[in-house]
Amino acid sequence: MTASLAIDGHSLTLDDVARVARGEVTTVTLAPTGRTALERARRVIEDAIAAGERVYGVTTGFGRLAEVMIPPDARILLQRNVIMSHASGFGEPISREAVRALMLLRANTLAHGHSGCTVRCVELLLDFLNRGI
């Protein structure tokens, strides 16, 4: 069965999540409204950075380090370190279905357009999902 689903950050249902998790939906794409929301939010972030403003977790540290400005040449390393710090765990691996559901939910949440991430970030998550990675 070949089925597709377009996510926009607002209309995803529990049934959609279950169908993607089970592999009944083979192609998930970003809806035009989700793309527009992501692009708009990204412009806000880029404009703030260009203006030298503080952007939590982008130009500053996190948590107690939110007041610490991160130099421009260290910002990519900051983002990499955040990913690495969250990329470990313990216990038994979770099921393929749970991973698929979580990837879809993360992509859909980002498609709301509140994070400032790039369209490419969401597309990459969806590419992984669509290719079974």
Active site residues: 56
Alpha helices in the chain (DSSP H): 14-21, 32-50, 75-86, 96-110, 119-130
* Distance, CA of 48 to CA of 70 (rounded, Å): 14
- Say if residues 40 and 117 touch (Cβ distance below 8 Å): no
* Distance, CA of 10 to CA of 97 (rounded, Å): 22
